Chain A
Amino acid sequence: MKKVSLIICAALVLSIFCGFDRASAAKFGTTPLADVQTAASANLSTTGLTYQNEFAAIIIAPTYPEVGDPDNLDKTPIPMALGRSDISTSNGYKLWVDGQTGYNQRASSTAPYRRVHWNAGIGLWQLDGSGLGQGYSLKQAIYTDTAASKVAARMATLYKNASGTAANKRKAAWAPWYGCGSGGAKCESIFQTIYNSTTHALNVTTNSSVTRSGGLVTTSCKYIVPPGNNNYFTCYKYDPNNAEGSTTDKNVFWLNAGWDGGTNSEPLPKPFFSFVESGSEYKHWLVSDTGYSTSRYASWDMASNPRGSVYWYSISSPLTQ
C-alpha cells in the first residue's frame, strides 16, 4: 500500500514538473479535434512522420496564440474567430465599408456602417485571403474540416522541405503564423504540452460545446430581384453573439476588444449572410440585423487579396430570407 502511494506521489510530482498539469488543461473542440486528426492522417505520409497525433499536435499549436490564449490552454479556441488587427492598410483599404471612405471615418464614433466590415483573417488558423485563405470562403475557413485540411496540407509540405532536426521542421511548419513567436518558441512550448512523445497521445481535453461550425448558422437566402424570384439557396449567417464556447473561452482578444473597433482593433461585424457565387464571395448586412438605415453588401474575388479586391456596392442589398 505504501509502495503504491509512493508511486502515485512520484507520478504526481513528475506530472507537475513535466508540465502535465498544464497538458490536461489544454482544451479543443471535440469535432474540431477529430477533423484535425483526419487532416493529419491524410497528410502524414508527406511529412515523413510516423505518428498521426504528433502531426495533429503540430497543426493545433498555432490556434492558441492566434485566436485563443497561449498562456491559458484551457480556453478552447473558437472557430468563429475573426482577425481584428488589420489596422494598417497594406494592400488597400477595401476591408472597410466603402473602402477608403470607411477607413477615413473609422476613428469617428458616429461613422455610418462602421460594423459593416470585411475581416480578412478567419477561423482557428486565421486563414487570410492574401495567404493560405486564398480561394476559401468564410464558411470553409471557419468549418474545421475544410480549414484543417488546408492547414495540414501546407504544414506537411513545409515540414517535408525543411532541413535539420524535427524541431527545425516544426519551426518551419509554424513559420507562417507570427503568433507562434520568435523561432516558433511559443508553438514549440504548446506542442510539448499537448503531445506526449512517449505514449504518442494527445494531452488535450475535448470540449463538445465547440463544434465544427463554431456557431456559423446554415440557412437559406434568396434575391428579391427579379420580381417573383423564388430560388432559395444555401447561405451562412455569421453572428458574433452565436460564437460557441464558454465565457472563459471567450475571454480572448478578438471577442474582448470593443466591437465597434478602435485604434488597436478593427470592428467586429454586425450579423451578416455569406455565400459563394461563381468564384466570388458575397456578404450581405441586412437592416433587420444591423439597425443601420440601409442594407449593404460586398463581394470578394476569392483569388485575390481581399484588402485590395473587396468590392462595396452602393445600392441596397437585394438579399432576403
Chain B
Amino acid sequence: MKFMKSKMFLLLIVLAAFVIAQSVYASNFDKDKSEKVKIALPKQPEIWEIYKTLDKEKLQEDDIALDAIGLNAQQIEKNKAEIDDIKKNENYIRRFPGFLGPYAVEYVDGINVSVVSNSLNIIASEGNNWTAMGLVRNETMSTIGNSFVEATLINSRGKEIEKVTGKVLVDEIRPGEPAPFVLTSSTNIEDVITVDWGVKAQKKEENISRDANITIDYELAYGDEYYKGQPRYDAPFPYRLSVSFDNLGGKVNNVELTVAWLTPEGKVFWIEQSNLDPVFADGIGEEGAGYFQNIVNDDIEIAPKLTEALNMFWVVGK
C-alpha cells in the first residue's frame, strides 16, 4: 500500500513536470473581482487592415468623434464608463481573431484555468449517465495549449465514484478566452452528489494559428422553407450554418471550426466541429480566405433549439 502511494506520488510529480498543471475547484468560481488583473485580449484588426483594398480614409470619415456631437467632457467620460461597465460583463459578445462570442473577459485571476460555472450544463445522457458540457477559461497570464478537464464524481457518502477526463476542444487558449469541453461518464446521474473540478493545461504548441477573422455567412432555421422569399434548396430544411474566415496570419493547411450553442441561461447545450471545405485542399495562404463545410442538423430534438440559441465560435489553424 505504501509502495502504491509512493508510486502514485511519483506519477503525480511526472505529470506535474509534463504539464503546467493547474487544478481549479468550484470555490474559485466566484473569486472577488477586486483581486483580478486586467489583461489585453487579442486585438481585432480594423476592417481596412483585413481587406487591404478598402479606402481607410473614406470609412473613417463616417465615424464621428464624441466631442464633435456636442457632448461635454463630463458626459464623454460618463459614456466611456458605461461602455467599460458593459464590457466587464462576461455575457458581452466579443470578436477577436479566432474567437466570436460571450464569456471572454479582460479581468482574470492571473493563476488558474477555470471551469466557467455559468456555462456548466450537467445532463443525463443515454442510460441516465452523468454528462457535462461547458467552458473552461484561461485565467492565467499566458497562452496555453491542449487542456484537459477532470471531474471527480462523488456520491452521498462523500466517496469518489468515478473520475472522468475530457479534452478541451480548442487546442490553444489565450488569456481571458473561454473554450468548450464535453465529459461523459458511466455513472448514473442520480448517484452524483458533488463534483470536484480540475483543469490541466499543456504548453502552447508552435504550429497553431488563431489568426482568423470569423464571419458568419448565414444561419438558417430548422423547418424554414424559404430564404428571402425564395424556396430553400435543402429540403427537408435542416438547421444550416455557414461560417467563413479571413486568414490574418501565415499559411494554414488544416483549419478547424468549433461552435458551441448556449441555453438562454448561458449554459452550453450543444457543440459541433467542422473542417475546411474540400475546395481548399491546398490550404489557405497569407491574406487568403476560406470557409468551412456547413454545419447541418436535422435532429428533431436539437435542431429547433439551435435556431433559437446564442452561439460562440472558435477557429484553430495548423
Residues of A within 8 A of B (CB): 39, 42-43, 65-67, 70, 83-85, 87-92, 126, 128, 130-132, 134-137, 139-140, 146, 149-150, 152-154, 157-158, 160-164, 168, 171-172, 175-179, 181-182, 222-223, 225-226, 229-231, 233-234, 252-254, 256-257, 264, 275-279, 303-305, 308-309, 311
Contact = CB atoms under 8 A, between A and B. Distances in A.
Interface in B149-205: none
B215 A134 contact: yes
Interface in B262-312: 277, 279-282, 284-285, 287-291, 306-311
Given A182-B233, A277-B64, A229 B70 contact: yes
B69 A90 contact: no
A92 B310 contact: yes
B55 interface: yes
Given A176-B291, A223-B70, A276-B63, 14 more contacts: A66-B228, A85-B227, A89-B308, A90-B309, A149-B51, A154-B51, A162-B280, A175-B277, A179-B230, A226-B70, A231-B70, A303-B94, A303-B95, A304-B95
Given A153-B54, A172-B279, A176-B242, A305 B228 contact: no
6 contacts: A83-B228, A150-B47, A231-B70, A277-B63, A304-B93, A308-B93
B221 A146 contact: no
Contact of B224 (A88, A253, A277): A88
Interface of B: 44, 46-47, 51-55, 58-59, 62-66, 68-72, 75, 86, 92-95, 100, 102, 213, 215-221, 224, 226-230, 233-234, 240, 242, 244, 246, 277, 279-282, 284-285, 287-291, 306-311
**Best-buried of A65, A176, A233 by chain B (most CB within 10 Å):** A176
A108 to B, nearest CB: 19
Contacts, number: 193
Nearest to A45: B53
Contacts of B54: 146, 149-150, 153
**Best-buried of A149, A153, A311 by chain B (most CB within 10 Å):** A153
A158 B224 contact: no
Contact of B227 (A149, A179, A222): A179
A311 B86 contact: yes
A176 B218 contact: yes
Nearest to A81: B228
B95 A134 contact: yes
Contacts of B220: 178
Contacts of A257: 229
Contact of B289 (A136, A154, A177): A154
Nearest to A43: B53
B218 A178 contact: yes
Contacts of A162: 279-280
Contact of A65 (B75, B102, B228, B290): B228
B217 A90 contact: no
A163 B220 CA distance: 27
A43 B52 CA distance: 10
Contacts of A264: 226
A90 B228 contact: no
Contacts of B291: 158, 172, 175-176
Nearest to A168: B279
Nearest to A130: B216
Contacts of A154: 51, 246, 289
B228 A85 contact: yes
Contact of A70 (B72, B230, B310): B230
A134 B218 contact: no
Contacts of B55: 146, 149
B242 A90 contact: no
A86 B59 CA distance: 27
B110 to A, nearest CB: 26
Contact of B68 (A88, A163, A233): A233
B70 A230 contact: yes
A274 to B, nearest CB: 10
Contacts of B288: 157, 160-161
Contact of A277 (B52, B69, B233, B240): B69
Contact of A276 (B62, B92, B217, B230): B62
